[in-house]
Structure 1
Amino acid sequence: MDCEGTSRQAQGRVELVASTGDITAQDNESTSSRSDSRERSPTTSCSERDDGLRDYFETAQWTADGTTILTSSSSNIISGYIVPEDLLSPTANRPLKLVPQATIQLPEPSNVLAGAPYFRLAEPWTQQLLVSARDHPIQLFYLSSSSPQAHQKPASSYPLTKARSETFLSATSLVWPGPGTHFVAGSRNLLAKFDVSRAGDEPLLRVKTIPSDRHLSKGGGVGMRGAVSSLAAQPPDGRNASLVAAATWTRWVGLYDFAQSSGACVATWSVARAGTEEAAVGGDGIAQALWSPCGRYLLLGERKSRGVLVYDVRVTGRLLGWLAGRDAGGNQRIACDVFPGQDGAGFEVWSGSTHGNVKVWEGVGTREGAHEPAWGWSGAQRSTVASTCMHQSGAVVATLSGSWEFPDEEDSDGSDESGSDSGSSISSSEAPWMRRQNRESSLKIWSLSNNGYGAASPERVGAGPE
């Protein structure tokens, strides 16, 4: 379905109720009034880099109680946005302004963030999050709105090092499932299980994804090789047992049973043939693994892909179908979200795209083959919608946009034709990454109506589970 058609269907179904506005434009406006160009305003998550570029939002996720949105930015800043109490009030002056109530400056780049599964706004001790920064142990921070600048140091850390040295391994993915006593980190050819209460300790369990990473064959075709790019915990069944799906940039996925003490590997398979031949949606490494609400289906979204692969884990490695028309053509991560369908008819998938559209697939899991989006809308102007997060009430959805653009070589080659001597022309010898520019970056919250779930009361959004 084309973008114009999905936008028409979205009319009357979504309304923008809160937004940060374009944080790159805000920072541009305030630069002239600052004596220090690297000073960051307390009401923005954006800062100016040494090369003059403005940073942008990268990831977003709801906290477990649904009261706060956690974001990370390319300036290594973690921010917490508490949802306004009058978010769905009919008398509110919309869109409301979103301002971070707490920020954490990380020492090194990271796009690995996991909020505590027991996070509750009313109890400050539960407001915890895990991050993994390069050349540092995995760190636990407290997020508090009482003093935004007071929580810059980690409360505890969990070292992940090479077995034969003290060199830190970078955790390239994290999953922190309920009840929250343990978390799992993924690295290159390795999964590690930690006990949250044992700060400073090495992992309780190390699970190699290949038999050996010292042999030239790197596992000899057994297991899955590569950095673990995404981890996802299966929703627990009646026995409270679950699997952890681990996906890699090398286009492999494995299922591991961490309910057992050994972390046994249940299955591994490659998605290369499915993405390239069966679904023909392309792909260049799995950026996100995501379970359906029922825990029966596994969704795998790749970078440089036009779709999302859907697997039924009851038949290991068999492709059930794919979500067509996703439009994730670049290297940037684009995270989607799921929500239960109406009357048990499959489930919904919500995803952004490279060109700023948000698309919704309905009845996923009820059919095989290609599955086209049911509807959608424009979530950003000239920028990638990198995260789409459904609130647990089904009443609102949060979208996060932000990216860089790279001017075409033709534009720079023709910049001198006018004969201008203003000094603004760019040397054709510069590499494209040296000429990149900011696109719009914002966090937005949209209310949903006429979606089959009924309009939720304002108290349901931000109040957390009962």
Structure 2
Amino acid sequence: MSGSGLKVRCLASTRVVQTTWKKQESRDEDEKGEEDVSDEAHQDDDTIEDLQAEERDDESRETSAYEEIEAQGTPTAQSPSSPSSASDSNSSTTSSSSDASTSSFTHNPDIHHTSCIQEAQLSPDGTCVFTSSYDRSFTVYPISSTIFSSPRPQPLAPYAKFTSPDPIWSFASNPLFDINDASTTHVLISRRDRYITLHNALWAINSPNPSSVPTGMVDIQTPLASYKLISPLTEALTAPFSLSYSHSGTHFFAGLKNSIALFDVEYTDEPTTNIPTIPSARNVRKGGGVGFKGVISSLALSPSTTFHREGILAAGSRTRYVGLYDAASSDKISTFALPVRQIRNANEEGDDLMGGGASRLKWSSCGKYLYIAERLSDVLHIYDVRNFSFALAHCAGRKAKTNQKLGFDVWSAASSVYSPDVVSHEVWAGGTDGCVRVWRDAYLKEGRVDADEVVQVGEGEMPVVGTMVHASGGLAVAACGQIEVGENGEGRSRGGGSMPGFRERGSLDILGLS
């Protein structure tokens, strides 16, 4: 893994198999042992040679003394010179730890692949990574506190997991998530044709002794609560397409078709409030020109501001509309459509800004800028909360012309020199070429903004579906996933028979940044 100015190394990965990692350690220990044995052998050889030299010296001295007596005055012969010192060790020097880690990670034939990762999130306290995969499983990966101590990539194994009979559409973690407090380690999960379920991400509720230290992978299949979302007209069970917690963790939002449901965590029977994105879903003119139709595919809650203590809820739809709502009162603030194309001048067209609908929304830490990603789009739109009439700029060259949902992250570095009340931040986004691109302070620019850094993940063979940066800035997490037609290649084989065959694979990497 490499970046032009950013130094990146792999700290842990699901690609690294435990046995392979141990074999590498064993090889290093064997090489070290061979060197020690070789050194000891040379030391023994040197000792034997020294003893032989001393014996020859004694014999020479005796002979010289006898010849001197016989010759009566003949000069004593000089003793032969002592043998040379011990020869240098011919054992080869082992390569550096960084080279060893790179070769074992990149060129290891025993590389392991997980199922194709569809979505990944970093826990609010930065200790765990949550993933949902093509095999309908939800997995929790821990980030070890000693991850920087090893010179080579460590194997990354799941701590907790459960598999669902239905696909996982969305999940959200408690904003108060604390690995040391079991009452906060909760995750909401939305699945097709099922209630919204609340799970403890780290503890097995169905265990006879949940507080005991687990000896194997923790099964978090049993939910803590189930929230009903049933249509009052058709009695059809509805599963949300997106989820987001409130800042206090006492409520959560669920994105539906043409509406947003607000739930109280303590009340499971029905939503406490319903926020329609359009006054009448049956109106051909989209509510008489007010609001918008479409599935709410992404939700994002802004940090607390002076005028909105509970934050502003941004809701993105597959119809390329974005709505803004007050998280406390549920009142609509504004709605706007995403741009189609950028016009530079009369003779030259700008970048194609048309996409396939909002797939991911993210606020800056200062709460003043909103970043929007779309499917089938190579750009990330940037909006200022003070004026949503026009986009400020767009991060271009993302390499995301795909229907696959590719996430991104906004990491805050420090206060901006241009405006003390605005925090400088970076945008990290993955692409289909297996690379992560970084844009620094793109909100200060206009029009097309090219990436400042490009970091390749692994060998760049899989799309990067999720990119997350730790709050400390020293770690980044890259989740990859790929589904390709054909039965040749790496990964798990699917399909067959009357259905076309295909293979799916994925990986999760923890990267060290410097």
Structures share fold, TM-score greater than 0.5: yes
What's the TM-score, normalizing by structure 2? 0.71
**Structure 1 residue 407: deviation in Å?**
5.3
1:186 and 2:264 aligned: no
**1:174 matched residue in structure 2:** 243
Take 1:61 and 1:225, find their aligned partners in 2: how far apart are those partners? 28
Take 2:342 and 2:179, find their aligned partners in 1: how far apart are those partners? 41
SS at match of 1:325: coil
**1:344 matched residue in structure 2:** 416
**Structure 1 residue 108: deviation in Å?**
1.1
Higher relative contact order by CA 8 Å / sep ≥ 6: 1 or 2? 1
**Structure 1 residue 280: deviation in Å?**
2.0
Kept in 2, the 8 Å contact 1:275–1:283? The answer is no
Give unpaired runs (5+ residues) of structure 1.
1-5, 27-43, 47-54, 412-425, 450-466
Within the candidate set 445, 465, 484, 1:405 is matched to 484
1:260-409 alignment, distance < 5 Å: 260=329, 263-274=330-341, 279-344=351-416, 346-380=424-458, 381-406=460-485
More displaced, 204-213 or 235-244? Answer: 235-244
Kept in 1, the 8 Å contact 2:14–2:113? The answer is no
Q: Which amino acid aligns with 1:14?
A: V
Within the candidate set 227, 230, 245, 1:161 is matched to 230
Take 1:63 and 1:311, find their aligned partners in 2: how far apart are those partners? 26
**1:250 matched residue in structure 2:** 319
Task: Report percent identity of matched pairs.
Answer: 34
Kept in 1, the 8 Å contact 2:3–2:456? The answer is no
**2:143 matched residue in structure 1:** 83
Take 1:88 and 1:447, find their aligned partners in 2: how far apart are those partners? 8
Take 1:358 and 1:150, find their aligned partners in 2: how far apart are those partners? 32
Give unpaired runs (5+ residues) of structure 2.
21-111, 204-212, 344-348, 418-423, 489-494
What's the TM-score, normalizing by structure 1? 0.78
Change (3 A) 1:151 1:8: closer
1:222-233 alignment, distance < 5 Å: 222-233=290-301
Q: Which amino acid aligns with 1:324?
A: A
**2:513 matched residue in structure 1:** 448
Take 2:287 and 2:136, find their aligned partners in 1: how far apart are those partners? 35
**Structure 1 residue 121: deviation in Å?**
1.0
More displaced, 237-246 or 367-376? Answer: 237-246
1:444-466 Cα deviation digits (max 9, x unpaired): 011111xxxxxxxxxxxxxxxxx
**1:137 matched residue in structure 2:** 195
More displaced, 365-374 or 104-113? Answer: 104-113
Q: Which amino acid aligns with 1:87?
A: I
Kept in 1, the 8 Å contact 2:484–2:502? The answer is yes
Kept in 2, the 8 Å contact 1:281–1:324? The answer is no
**Structure 1 residue 151: deviation in Å?**
2.6
**Structure 1 residue 350: deviation in Å?**
0.4
Take 1:122 and 1:369, find their aligned partners in 2: how far apart are those partners? 45
**Structure 1 residue 235: deviation in Å?**
0.9
**Structure 1 residue 273: deviation in Å?**
2.6
Take 2:3 and 2:8, find their aligned partners in 1: how far apart are those partners? 11
Query: Considering only aligned residues, what root-mean-square deviation do their CA atoms show, in Å?
Result: 2.6
**1:415 matched residue in structure 2:** none
1:236 and 2:309 aligned: no
Take 1:149 and 1:82, find their aligned partners in 2: how far apart are those partners? 12
**Structure 1 residue 178: deviation in Å?**
1.7
**Structure 1 residue 283: deviation in Å?**
1.0
SS at match of 1:294: coil
**Structure 1 residue 88: deviation in Å?**
1.5
1:173-221 Cα deviation digits (max 9, x unpaired): 01113220111010100101111122x2211100111111234444243
1:408-434 Cα deviation digits (max 9, x unpaired): 9xx9xxxxxxxxxxxxxx99x988xx2
Higher helix share: 2
**Structure 1 residue 348: deviation in Å?**
0.4
1:222-247 Cα deviation digits (max 9, x unpaired): 21110001000001124623100000
Q: Which amino acid aligns with 2:145?
A: E
Change (3 A) 1:126 1:343: closer
Corresponding pairs, count? 391
SS at match of 2:291: coil
Structure number with larger C-alpha Rg: 2
Q: Which amino acid aligns with 1:205?
A: T
